[in-house]
Amino acid sequence: MNKTVLATLTLTAGIAIGVFSAYWFSGPQKALVLPEEKQVVKQKKPLYYRNPMNAEVTSPVPAKDYMGMDYIPVYEDDMTKPTNGAEGTVTIDPVTVQNIGVRTATATVTSLSNPIRTVGRIAYDEEHIARLHPKTEGWIEELFVDKTGTTTTKGTMLLSVYSPQLVTSSQEYLLALTSLKTLKDSPFEDIRYGAQQMAKTARERLELLDVPEHQILDMERTGAIKKNLHIHSPVNGTVINIGAREGQYVTPQTELYLLADLSKVWVFADVYESELPWVNVDDTVEMLLTGIPNKIFKGKLSYIYPFAEAKTRTIKVRMIFDNPGLLLKPDMFATVTINTQLQHKAITIPSEAIVRSGKRNQVFVVRDQGKFEPRTIVTGLSSDGLTQVVEGISAGETVVTSSQFLIDSESKLRESTAKMLENLKHEQPNAESHKGH
């Protein structure tokens, strides 16, 4: 037998042994395999269903929102482990905190100020305006001051008026003086006293008609009747308006002159409602005018009007300024800066940290790494991006200043879930009690 035949027999025997082994081992294994058991899948039952756009809107059964979107089922396994903080506290892993761009700031104690800049309008000081009317009827004979803008001093003669009533009153006074001279040596005291009272009454009547003292004295000295009444300026001021001219018949209703003392002026300005808490009477004020460059006028806020402008929703304030050299002229416009009072030792946080819901103001306080606690606060004044916290935050605490709306949404979801779980716990014992009965 040669080598080729021997190799062929050996190969054939090996194949036969392999086939037999495969048959032998495969057969018993198939016979021992048991039918595969069906796995029982336990279906998780949702706690409730929530609106996909608003986590606070929930339903105990599947539902759809007004856009046709299915409510999202919420399972107990979907909630993270409860935290040890206040209700609504959120725990977020550091990677997510970094991805959503959470920034923080520390509450600090500082002095808060808010200078208010606005536009002011210069006006007359209403407490130093004089409207001059005659006390009697008559005709203007002569105007001594006949131009508006003329500056006058107290006692300056403005005009003369011919008045029949003045002539009659002057005659009565001269007769009273003559009687007093005649009866001053009377042995009867009542007669002397009557003459004195008559002269006194006649003089008072002239004074009530605004007859100046110099005319009365001249009348007593000369005994001549004065037909013209001299009218003098009652104040230091500037003539703003002349209401009558020479030859014109005037009555007590006629405004002869409008005089204004411009040594002090008022300035009116409007402030917004949000700025009103800062404004106080006696605040110092600085004013600049384009017509008077490089000069700062200093005054003070004297009055805050008790009503708002319906169209502009602003509140009018009044300031008072000295006016040396009469540089400040009524109806000029100016830039006004109200230096409001400092709020000392105020706890402040960035205004952007506050979540304003309308009903309350809330911030998220960092309790630990990745742990954020919702906190309701009471706010005070705001200025330059900072807001005063009156209650709810202590100095040194850290608050979230960005992405807090995402955290707020998660917080509300956890809070509503916690309330739902609490309600379910209360409902289960009641259901078991009814079932036993």
Q: What is the pLDDT of residues 332-348, one digit of tens each?
A: 999 999 998 777 788 88
Indicate if 320 and 176 belong to the same structural domain.
no
Is 136 part of any domain?
A: no
Query: In the chain, how many domains are there?
Result: 4
Which of 384, 377, 319, 386 shows the shortest CA–CA distance to 349?
A: 386
Sheet holding 257-260, edge to edge: 129-132, 257-260, 237-242, 151-152
**pLDDT value of residue 37:** 44
The last residue of one of the domains, among 307, 342, 377, is 342
The pLDDT score that the predictor gives to residue 7 is 46
Q: How far apart are CA 274 and CA 71, in angstroms?
A: 41
Instruction: Say which DSSP state 321 is in.
Output: E
312 Cβ contact list (under 8 Å, min separation 6): 270
Residue 3 lies in a domain: no
What global pTM score does this model have? Answer: 0.61
Contacts of 435 (CB under 8 A, 6+ apart): none
Q: Are 105 and 399 in contact (CB under 8 A)?
A: yes
Q: Are residues 121 and 266 in the same domain?
A: yes
In a domain, 49, yes or no: yes
Outline where DSSP puts E strands in 147-256.
151-152, 157-162, 228-232, 237-242, 249-250
Reduced to 3 states, what is the DSSP secondary structure of residue 389? Answer: strand
The two structure tokens encoding residue 414: 């956890």
What lies within 8 Å, CB to CB, of 301 at 6+ separation is 279, 280, 281, 282, 283, 284, 285, 317, 318, 319, 338
What is the span of the domain harbouring residue 326? 116-125+261-342
Q: Cα–Cα distance between 129 and 147 in angstroms, integer?
A: 17
Supply the DSSP string of 21-72, one letter for each residue: HHHHHHHHHHHHPPPPPPP-PPPPPPSEEE-SS-TT-EESS--B-TTSPBPE
Helix (H, G, I), strand (E, B) or coil at 408: helix
Quick check: is 247 in a domain? Answer: no
3-state secondary structure of 92: coil
CATH number at residue 265: 2.40.30.170
Local confidence pLDDT in tens for the 437 residues of the chain: 444 444 444 545 455 455 444 444 444 444 444 444 444 445 667 777 877 777 667 788 888 888 888 887 776 655 544 445 566 777 777 777 777 788 888 888 887 778 899 999 999 999 999 999 998 899 999 999 999 999 999 989 999 999 888 888 888 888 888 888 888 777 888 888 888 888 889 888 888 888 888 888 888 888 888 788 888 898 899 999 999 999 999 999 999 999 999 999 999 999 999 888 889 999 999 999 998 988 999 999 999 999 999 888 999 999 999 998 899 999 999 999 999 877 778 888 888 888 887 778 888 888 888 888 888 888 888 877 888 888 888 888 888 888 777 777 777 766 666 666 666 566 655 555 555 54
**Inside any domain, residue 251:** no
Q: Chain-centre distance of CA 74, in angstroms?
A: 44
Mark whether 309 and 375 lie in a shared domain. no
In the prediction, which pLDDT does 49 show?
80
Q: What per-residue confidence (pLDDT) applies to 320? A: 96
What pLDDT is stored for residue 421 in this prediction?
61
Token pair listed for 269 = 């300005």
**Domain harbouring 384, CATH code:** 2.40.420.20
Q: What are phi and psi of 83, to 5 degrees?
A: -90, 165
Residue-level pLDDT at 1: 46
Domain for residue 435, yes or no?
no
Is 278 inside any structural domain? Answer: yes
> Are residues 286 and 273 located together in one domain of the fold?
yes
Chosen domain end from 208, 226, 244: 226
Closest C-alpha among 232, 258, 279, 261 to residue 123: 261
Amino acid at 397: E
pLDDT of 433 reads 52
| Residues 338, 265 within the same domain | yes
Specify whether 68 is located in the same domain as 94. no
CA distance 167 to 161: 11
> 206 with 353, same domain?
no
Cβ–Cβ < 8 Å for 387, 371 = no
Kindly state whether residue 271 falls inside one of the protein's structural domains.
yes
- pLDDT for the residue 298: 94
Query: What phi, psi does 376 have (nearest 5°)?
Result: -80, 135
